Chain A
Amino acid sequence: MRLPRLASPPVLLVAWILLFSLLTHEAGAQLPTGVAIPEPGFRPIASYEMDVRLDRQTHTVSGHEVLTFRNATIHPVTELWFHAYYNAWKTDGSTWLRLIGRTIPGDYPEERLAWLQVTGAEVLANMFFAREDILETFAYIQPDDGNQLDQTLFRLELPRPLPAGGEVRLKIDFTTKVPRTFSRTGYIDDYYFLAQWFPKIGVLTDEGWEAHQYFPVEYFADYGTYDVRLTVPSDCIVGATGELVGRLEIHGDGTTTHHFRQEMVHDFAWVAWPKYLVFNEQYEFLPGHTTEITLLLCPEHKKLKDRYLQATKYGIHYYSKWFGPYPYTTATIVDPAFNSGAGGMEYPTFFTGGAPLFAAPGVLRPEGVTIHEFGHQFWYGLVGNNETVDAWLDEGFNSYSESRVQDVAYGPNHESIRVFNLPIVFDEVEIPFKWQAAPRYRSIAEVVPLDIPSYLKPRFAYGGNAYNKAELMHWTLEGFLGWETYREVLSTFYEEWKFKHPKSEDFFSIVNEVSGMDMTWFFDQLYHSADVVDYAVEGVSTRLMGEPHGSLQRPDIAPEGGPEWTPEIRGTDPEARQIQVTVRRLGEVTFPVEVLILFDDGEQVVERWDGLDRRYTFTYERTSQVEKVIVDPRAILVLDINRTNNSWVRTADRRGTGKLTLRWLFWVQSVLEFFAFIS
């Protein structure tokens, strides 16, 4: 979005307006705004023209929307389904409240509640329909769980079927009561953040409506143009999806209308707060590609301005470079008001970051969240998967991409703690981005596979699954296929699926196609099952060749096709040893791994193991000893749930143990002294 640019709009813009009006000779001809890089074959499905007004006294937003909906399926349709997300916080017993285990009014007072009320619905005249009121066909529906108390989905019936390829225009009047913050939307004091706030049509597919009641997960909608007029108190700074159209209209009643427009997006969110600081910048993210970055910053975060902007630039630059150019003319970052609950969320061309009051350098906040939420412009915004069902397609892709940008742009993150609200950063403790998601994934690794629809996953496992496991899968694939190939996989996926709704299988086929390998075995094990990866060094045994070893025989567990057991070769050199290095597969998942064996004379051997058997033994004859064994030495398998057991070193190095123990000892001694200070 852009903020009131009352002072001199760019010369180019003025020239455009003049030229445009000369050519058209139409009074009030509209400058096309909020355009995107044209996409051949793209046709909008759900476009909205809205005119709404914010009332801060009653915490309501009311007005109307004119929805132009195109039936892009092969069947006629009579019934239209709409989301009314705000109704999740209207009545006790809504599916959303049930699932998070809260009740009304037990957990929430009146002012926290919200609702969305449709007060009028009519079909407008076009080539398929005559003007007709259809409000009486309005009905709440609960296709997912039959919960009659849930009012988050409603339907309207058309007077006659809308044929395949046909278009209908509906005018819907509605009033939205804004809550005191639920799920990243709401108000606090005079801060208003509006998301999922209007009657939004579901996605119609050849199989019917793909629209779910509101579960505590994310969203799904179709692409179109949003043309929205927001009338708010004049003191408000407003940010929104898309680009500001024309000048602000200041009214006599103390309100101002801000007009935003954006093509080829699937949602619209906005924020209004008098206290925002506004920063605008044109940014050329790739040669010849420019976008306008707008930052709405809380006054208390003034010193974070450059960090926010730089992070956004890194995001735009690297995502565009790796996956494809960012197609929109604006990118608006909102630094949400403290305690507004709006932090860290994505909307088309518009997203929220978030930062603590004291943000230490070296700890990537606000950077991480800014890059993440910008990154959703690609994985969610442009590649529009169904977040309600396949959250991993946006969250997992984006967590990985975000980590990669941070890794390239900033290097590792650092451990930090807060003491008396102030940060202490430990430069020594570097958190590698590649492994960052591992602890959270491991804590829920075996709970659910990725292929269970997101809205049906246990809530405690949702993040570790859709974000963390998926991120580690991407890092593993990158390591396995190589970055150049994997980048091509992702850019192909982006190119083929932007402005569309891919499913997981669509991604799998692109992986296979681009890599030229059949990776089905990988997705079967890691997407369709909750099995885990765990390879380990079991041990090293050494025997002098000269020693009698009558009991030696090929162990039963020795794998088919493994190295031959050769007990009969006897020492030509009395110092010669038979060395056996045994590695194990402790998890159910099989994955080819490398095993590095370092001998104490400096010789290094890298073995390739298909990783299929439970146990595998490599046998050597050497006069030297094994000094070190590492399974997966290049750390490709970041999905491995235990990295510590991946290595074995003959010579113990106790310096680290000593250091940690001394540090702990000192801390405990100091704890004791603080106890003594009580006496």
Chain B
Amino acid sequence: MSIITALRKGIGLASRHWRALLVVYVFNLALAGAAAVPVFRAIDAELSHTESAEQMAEGFDWLWFEEFRASRNPGEELSVSLAPWQQGLAPLIVNFERYVRGSLRRDLPSPLIWLGILYLLITTFLTGGILGLFAEEDVRFSLRFFFDRAGRYFIILLGILVVATLAYWLLWDVIGTAWRGLVANVRGEATTEWTPVLLDWLGALILVIAAFFIHMVMDYARIAGVAWEKLGLFPALLGSAGFCLHNLGKALGLFYLTTLLAALIALAYGLLVRLGGGASTGQLIVMALVQQGFILASIWIRMVYLGGQLSFYKGVLSVPISVRNPEKPRP
């Protein structure tokens, strides 16, 4: 199967099961929305009845923001993480850098880390539902089916998550930390900034390629775990690793093609979000819609990764994947 075909199938699956997408989105919005309530209240209390309110609506009141930040209690309040750079494409780029460097944990206030971990567990659960839907050729979405599959695959997906976490730990905390130390040493003796910058970029490139590779292997392990229901955790991981190595070029091609699609969506977001740049309530609504559209698209792209890879897996192994055919995978 060509990677284009696999991607098209992935897009088809993700789009067909838009209801599943909505389920994931509801959790995303509910968690972030719940967190945003105290933030809204904190800002409202300090801003809405001051002369800064208008300036903040029409642009940005730097001094107000500095005072707000200084009055927050670090570590306790979510509003401490409000920042002037949370606009346009920048938050996505910042989050991407933190992902690449494995520094999400270091750079976020602890309530957000816990929220992230909670969402991670929830999406691990929901991924079971999504894969269950994708694996069945022509099943129609129902919440009952979705959550049934989510529950059924949760344990193995959780196991894969634990292994993935270990792999990421090795990558980010062991290799990443060592690289940072190297960059710091080189930086200390360099007479041109190019030296540490180039070295840092090289490190980031290695990290992102490795993180993507781990992600890809774990995806195929999830797919295998769902495809061959009775399969244990380690056979699923080994099978996935074997699959990836046997089909390295195409597997990577598919992964990066999907990543390219994700990047294009982010770029489109960057252009669209400018429409909501004005001060009116209407423009605020436009901004909110564009933002939520992008979040939906992010969830969709995660589903495209899964759908595309599942289709590719299926195509390569030429077996009808279904929970009704719980065979052992071929070596």
Q: Which residues of A contact B (CB under 8 A)?
A: 188-189, 191, 275, 298-300, 337-340, 356-357, 415, 417, 419-421, 424, 426, 428-432, 435, 438-439, 442-443, 628, 630, 642-644, 646-650, 652-679
Contact = CB atoms under 8 A, between A and B. Distances in A.
A188 B284 CA distance: 53
Given A661-B39, A671-B104, A671-B108, A415 B85 contact: yes
A668 B36 contact: yes
Contacts of B84: 415, 426, 429
A674 B98 contact: yes
B4 interface: no
Given A644-B67, A673-B28, A665 B54 contact: no
Interface string B112-125: 10011101100110
B43 A675 contact: no
A357 B191 CA distance: 12
Given A644-B64, A663-B86, A670-B298, A652 B284 contact: no
Contacts of A415: 60, 62, 84-85
A508 to B, nearest CB: 29
A419 B97 contact: yes
A430 B62 contact: yes
Contacts of A357: 193-194, 197
B28 A643 contact: no
A672 B279 contact: no
Nearest to B81: A664
B204 interface: yes
Contacts of A630: 51
A586 B321 CA distance: 72
Interface in B38-65: 39-40, 43-44, 46-57, 59-65
Contacts of B168: 678
Contacts of B295: 666, 669-670, 673
Interface stretch (B87-95, B133-141, B225-233, B307-315): B87-95
B213 to A, nearest CB: 13
A300, A421, A644 — which one has the most chain B CB atoms within 10 A of its CB?
A644
Given A340-B191, A420-B97, A676 B120 contact: yes
B104 A668 contact: no
Contacts of A659: 56-57, 284, 287
Contact of A339 (B115, B190, B201): B190
Contact of B53 (A442, A656, A668): A656
A649 B49 CA distance: 5
Given A417-B90, A419-B93, A656-B48, A432 B62 contact: yes
Contact of B204 (A420, A642, A644, A655): A420
Contacts of B93: 419, 424
A251 to B, nearest CB: 26
B99 interface: yes
A188 B200 CA distance: 21
Contact of A442 (B39, B70, B164, B165): B70
Contacts of A678: 120, 161, 164-165, 168, 215
A402 B76 CA distance: 38
B64 A652 contact: no
Given A426-B90, A643-B63, A658 B49 contact: no
A657 B48 contact: yes
B197 to A, nearest CB: 5
Contact of B35 (A442, A644, A656, A668): A668
Given A420-B97, A652-B48, A654-B44, A676 B284 contact: no
A679 B33 contact: no
B9 interface: no
Contact of B47 (A642, A656, A668, A675): A656
Contacts of A439: 66, 70
A189 B188 CA distance: 11
22 contacts: A189-B189, A300-B194, A419-B90, A419-B97, A424-B85, A429-B60, A430-B59, A644-B52, A647-B51, A647-B52, A653-B53, A655-B53, A655-B57, A661-B36, A661-B43, A663-B86, A664-B36, A666-B91, A666-B295, A674-B96, A675-B117, A679-B120
Contacts of B189: 188-189, 339
Contacts of A668: 32, 35-36, 112, 115
Contacts of B192: 298-300, 337-338
Interface string B137-155: 0000000000000000000
Contact of B82 (A275, A655, A660): A660
Contact of B127 (A654, A657, A679): A679
A648 B190 CA distance: 53
A403 to B, nearest CB: 14
B17 interface: no
Nearest to B66: A439
Interface in B264-308: 279-281, 284, 287-288, 291, 294-295, 298-299, 302
A548 B132 CA distance: 73
B179 interface: no
A660 B69 CA distance: 13
Nearest to B36: A665
Contacts of B33: 665
B31 interface: yes
A207 B33 CA distance: 69
Contacts of A188: 189, 191
Given A643-B64, A656-B61, 6 more contacts: A419-B97, A424-B85, A426-B90, A443-B70, A660-B82, A672-B119
B291 A648 contact: no
Contacts of B52: 644, 647, 656
10 tightest A-B contacts by CB? A656-B56, A655-B57, A675-B116, A653-B53, A647-B51, A667-B91, A676-B123, A357-B193, A652-B48, A666-B291
Contacts of A442: 70
A440 to B, nearest CB: 10
A27 B282 CA distance: 84
B157 interface: yes
Contacts of B40: 657, 661
A344 to B, nearest CB: 16
A675 B120 contact: yes
A189, A653, A668 pick with most chain B CB within 10 angstroms: A668
Nearest to B124: A679
B261 to A, nearest CB: 14
A644 B72 CA distance: 14
Interface in B192-216: 192-194, 197, 200-201, 204, 215
Contacts of B51: 628, 630, 646-647, 649
Nearest to A667: B91
B193 A435 contact: no
A656 B91 contact: no
A660 B79 CA distance: 10
